Structure 1
Amino acid sequence: MAAGRLTYEERRRIAEGLAAGLAYAEIARRLGRSTSTIVREVARNGGHHRYRANQAEQATRWRARRRPVPHAADLTAGPIAHPAASGGEPESVREFEERFAAMMTGTGIPAMMARVLVCLFAADTGGATAAELVARLRVSPASVSKAVGWLGERGLITRERRGRRERYLIDDHVWYQAWLASLHGMVLWARFTQQGAQLYGEGSPAGARLHTAGQFFRHLHRDMSQSAEHWRHTLAT
């Protein structure tokens, strides 16, 4: 099985394989690479639907130039507690995490945000500092900062300060919190589409279109609110 960095020719064949609908395992077999290598390559460079060989090649070269040297404080932070340390197989765990991140990317979560989210899911404590995430993911502090900001805005993670350090956490209620955050988005969509319908007039094509959109978001908000309330009662029992 081949080792070392992927070449541009291999990236081009990965892109062709994805376009042809091939599974990651089949692409890996044709290239003589491990499936985890292909999953990681795709997840880091836009995901299944956005992967492009040219862009992946350029991004890899950029990362190689910008890869940070760990700060002394980061080296003493210690590794994130990981399932593999509790008896799991390291290779199978890594492969699962890469496939998990690729799945998230394929459903709309940006690649860096997906990697951070998976890292927190896989940590035994459900949390990590920025320094720990930088060391574990081998990315720049700026990338981690942007990712945790994006995840925090959507209610997917919370912050906890311990002395001078800030930890980013994910808990069992994360999807309930994220659901509530998305409810706010539904309210905004309903409000603005209704305002647009009134502005253009419901008798016009634009007004009618906006009115229909407003009805959709109002009904969606109602159904999502009922589901969230049902889940809250389920958690309380």
Structure 2
Amino acid sequence: MPGGRLTQQERRRIAAGLADGLSYAEIGRRLERPTSTISREVTRNGGPGGYRSRSAHEATVRRARRGAAAPSRADDRSPGGVAQETIIDLAVRSGMPRMMARVHVDLLLSEDGRRTAAELVGRLKVSPASVSVAVNALVEHGYVRRERDPQRRRDVYVVDDQAWYHSVAISARQTRESARAAMAAAEVLGPDSPVGERLLRAGTFLERVVDDMRESADRWRTLLM
């Protein structure tokens, strides 16, 4: 399977595939590329209706030149840097630790959704320990997966479209565990007691929400393929 950055010829084939109404998955199969690579390429360069192979290739070259000497967060006031900080701030406000959010967003905005620990340390200008804690948490929550590079004997951290599905599944499982714990406590305390009744209502509510989450995630998972 081809690796590395997309070539200009591949981008022309992506544009042709979009014009023919092909799905990201089908375009990826024809190019022997992951679906996530195609969807990320199109999303970053105008979307399905505005993707142009030449402008996409030129934009990628410009980003690569800027990325060769990535500025620190404080110094990067370009539109891309401001947008990246906005996404990080939104993630932090939703409850994600800032370092975890910075690593996640840097992976999301990378060309192929892959970084080594050393690359993350260099780009974010933080300690290896900080990156290690952040990526371990991201893996645990299903946002990122860890792959092993057997040639260089190092870990590679990967984010792809399916990560969104897996993170929802993990969140649903954890919420279901909380629901069952509440309902079990209600049984011990007595479902007719004030506390037992309150816990039973909470557990039932959480179980219904989890059922809806899983059903919705399964129904719409094809959008990520």
- If the length of structure 1 is used for normalisation, what is the TM-score? 0.61
What residue is the counterpart of 2:47 in the other structure? Answer: none
Deviation at 1:95, TM superposition (A): 1.5
What residue is the counterpart of 1:169 in the other structure? Answer: 158
Indicate the larger mover: 221-230 or 87-96: 87-96
The sequence identity of aligned pairs, in percent, is: 40
Is 1:83–1:124's contact at 8 Å kept on the other side of the alignment? no
SS in structure 1 of the partner of residue 111 of structure 2: coil
Deviation at 1:202, TM superposition (A): 1.3
**How many residues are treated as equivalent by the alignment?**
156
CA–CA distance in 1 between the matches of 2:145 and 2:107? 11
What residue is the counterpart of 2:221 in the other structure? Answer: 232
Once the two structures are superposed, the pairs formed by residues 82-93 of structure 1 within 5 Å of their partners are 84-85=63-64, 91-93=78-80
Is 1:159–1:169's contact at 8 Å kept on the other side of the alignment? yes
Query: 1:216 is aligned with what amino acid?
Result: F
What residue is the counterpart of 2:97 in the other structure? Answer: 110
CA–CA distance in 2 between the matches of 1:211 and 1:150? 31
CA–CA distance in 1 between the matches of 2:176 and 2:168? 13
Deviation at 1:203, TM superposition (A): 1.6
- CA shift digits 1:195-233 (9 cap, x unpaired): 110011112221111101111111011101210120134
What residue is the counterpart of 1:10 in the other structure? Answer: none
- CA shift digits 1:151-185 (9 cap, x unpaired): 11110000111021101111012211111111211
Is 1:83–1:122's contact at 8 Å kept on the other side of the alignment? no
Deviation at 1:234, TM superposition (A): 4.7
SS in structure 2 of the partner of residue 167 of structure 1: strand
CA–CA distance in 2 between the matches of 1:111 and 1:125? 23
User: Structure 1 segments of 4 or more deviating over 6 A?
Assistant: 86-90
Query: 2:198 is aligned with what amino acid?
Result: R
- CA shift digits 1:103-130 (9 cap, x unpaired): 1101111100000001001110101011
Query: 1:99 is aligned with what amino acid?
Result: T
CA–CA distance in 2 between the matches of 1:86 and 1:149? 30
Match of 2:193 among 204, 208, 211: 204
CA–CA distance in 2 between the matches of 1:150 and 1:208? 35
SS in structure 2 of the partner of residue 166 of structure 1: strand
- In the alignment, structure 2 segments of 5+ residues that lack a partner are 1-59, 68-75
SS in structure 1 of the partner of residue 78 of structure 2: helix
Query: 2:148 is aligned with what amino acid?
Result: R
SS in structure 2 of the partner of residue 198 of structure 1: helix
Once the two structures are superposed, the pairs formed by residues 62-73 of structure 1 within 5 Å of their partners are none
CA–CA distance in 1 between the matches of 2:142 and 2:65? 29
CA–CA distance in 1 between the matches of 2:62 and 2:197? 53
What residue is the counterpart of 2:20 in the other structure? Answer: none
Match of 1:195 among 184, 193, 209: 184
Once the two structures are superposed, the pairs formed by residues 32-43 of structure 1 within 5 Å of their partners are none
Deviation at 1:94, TM superposition (A): 1.4
Over the aligned positions, Cα root-mean-square deviation in angstroms equals 2.3
Q: Do residues 178 (structure 1) and 160 (structure 2) align?
A: no
- In the alignment, structure 1 segments of 5+ residues that lack a partner are 1-80
What residue is the counterpart of 1:155 in the other structure? Answer: 142
Is 1:105–1:111's contact at 8 Å kept on the other side of the alignment? yes
